[in-house]
């Protein structure tokens, strides 16, 4: 029997954020001063913490449809938005958080694994591209390391949110692009532009600026082929997805796309305060591209 190592990565530097517990299809998380209880279908095991810890959450997300719902607040009124700090030996970033109707608060804390990787592997005057960039943790990490950063997301309000995160973090100079990520990437290939580092986190359903929808399974190959044409020789690509595509499948796709690259894949996780791992998505790193 032969085996290749399967990775599990989780962030290690959070102080403002803590995963207090996970169980029965939910996460109990501290986001700065506030504790939230929200659904996570990956959590199929029972909780470890006492039920009283869960009952003390400041707000609990009640789903009303597959991706929508509302927050039920438990006594203490939460502010419309509040701040969260990420501080590690390499990075000092600030984020604005808000309770959204999609169970999210404006940040995927496991992404700190990618921020650290980016900050370590990119430097001043390198070019960096963040596709499907959301509230921009990866863009901030690359900019903090001195890179020329292009941030692409098709939703203007999300880009405005990132601009606020950039300013809170004491950074500037990020290039904003509100556009369909694949269309932008194809245009960049035609223009002959190349990037030292590229991160992409495509959702299950892509949404263009004019509301046009595409399914990831239909776009994933053109997306990877285009990104492969955009990366500099010796550069890196980080792809992760929360769409249920396995790390092995992602790795195979990249092996077929860039056969000479060094590729590692695994699960992006969060770790509870007791040390239990909670899987959040699949991650692949494509390194030393030719
Ligand atoms: C899963 S989130 C990415 C999370 C991100 N990795 C992070 O660390 O915060 C997906 C993002 O893709 C954006 N998006 C959806 N369809 C898009 C498209 N066709 N082109 C560009 N961005 C798109 C959404 O607005 C959303 O911000």
- Domain residue limits, the chain: 7-287
Given this model, what pLDDT does residue 66 score?
76
Q: Of 268, 274, 281, give the one whose Cα is nearest residue 21.
A: 274
Residue 158: CB within 6 Å of ligand 1? yes
**What is the pLDDT confidence band of residue 93, given thresholds at 50, 70 and 90?**
very high
Give the model's pLDDT for residue 1: 74
206 lines ligand 1 (CB under 6 A): yes
Q: Are 9 and 269 in contact, with CB atoms under 8 Å apart?
A: yes
* Predicted pLDDT of residue 289: 77
Tokens of 196: 């030292």
* Confidence tier at 210 by pLDDT (50, 70, 90): confident
135 CB within 6 A, ligand 1: yes
Model confidence band, residue 211 (pLDDT cutoffs 50, 70, 90): confident
155 lines ligand 1 (CB under 6 A): yes
Q: Which long-range contacts (CB under 8 A, 24 or more apart) does 188-192 make?
A: 188/129, 188/230, 189/226, 189/229, 189/230
Cα of 132 vs its chain's centroid, Å:
9
Report, as an integer, the average pLDDT of 100-128. Answer: 96
- pLDDT of res. 75: 83
Mean of pLDDT over the chain? 96
Q: What are phi and psi of 105, to 5 degrees?
A: -125, 10
Q: Both tokens of residue 148?
A: 């020329």
pLDDT band at 2 (very low <50, low <70, confident <90, very high): confident
Give CA–CA dist 137/75, Å, rounded. 31
For 130-182, write each residue's pLDDT tens digit: 999 999 999 999 999 999 999 999 999 999 999 999 999 999 999 999 999 99
- Helix 156-168 vs helix 137-144: crossing angle, to nearest 10: 40
The finding on whether 108 has its CB within 6 A of some atom of ligand 1 is yes
Q: Kindly indicate whether the domain formed by 7-287 is annotated with CATH number 3.40.50.150.
A: yes
The CA distance from 179 to 207, in Å, is: 9
Residue 137 has which token pair? 């943790």
Residue nearest to atom 13 of ligand 1 (CA): 132
Residue-wise pLDDT for 46-90, tens only, equals 999 999 999 999 999 999 987 789 999 998 889 999 999 999 999
């Amino acid at each position: 029997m032969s085996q290749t190592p399967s990775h599990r990565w989780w962030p290690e530097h959070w102080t403002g954020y803590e995963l207090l517990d996970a169980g029965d299809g939910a996460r109990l998380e501290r986001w700065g001063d506030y504790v939230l209880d929200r659904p996570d279908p990956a959590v199929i095991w029972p909780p470890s913490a006492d039920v009283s810890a869960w009952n003390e959450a400041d707000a609990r997300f009640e789903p009303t449809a597959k991706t929508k719902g509302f927050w039920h607040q438990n006594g203490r009124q939460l502010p419309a938005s509040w701040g969260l700090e990420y501080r590690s030996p390499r990075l000092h970033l600030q984020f604005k958080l808000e309770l959204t109707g999609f169970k999210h608060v404006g940040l995927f804390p496991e992404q700190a694994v990618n921020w650290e990787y980016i900050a370590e592997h990119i430097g001043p005057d390198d070019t960096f591209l963040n596709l499907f960039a959301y509230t921009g943790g990866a863009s901030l990490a690359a900019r903090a390391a001195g890179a020329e950063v292009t941030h692409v997301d098709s939703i203007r309000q999300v880009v405005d949110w990132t601009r606020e995160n950039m300013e809170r973090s004491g950074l500037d100079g990020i290039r904003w692009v509100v556009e369909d990520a694949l269309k932008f990437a194809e245009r960049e290939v035609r223009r002959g532009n190349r990037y030292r580092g590229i991160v992409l986190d495509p959702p299950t359903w892509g949404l263009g600026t004019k509301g046009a929808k595409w399914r990831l399974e239909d776009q994933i190959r053109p997306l990877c082929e285009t990104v492969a044409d955009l990366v500099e020789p010796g550069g890196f690509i980080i792809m992760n997805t929360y769409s249920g595509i396995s790390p092995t499948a992602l790795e195979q796709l990249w092996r077929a796309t860039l056969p000479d690259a060094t590729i590692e894949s695994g699960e992006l996780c969060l770790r509870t305060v007791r040390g239990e791992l909670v899987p959040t998505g699949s991650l692949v790193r494509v390194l030393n591209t030719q």
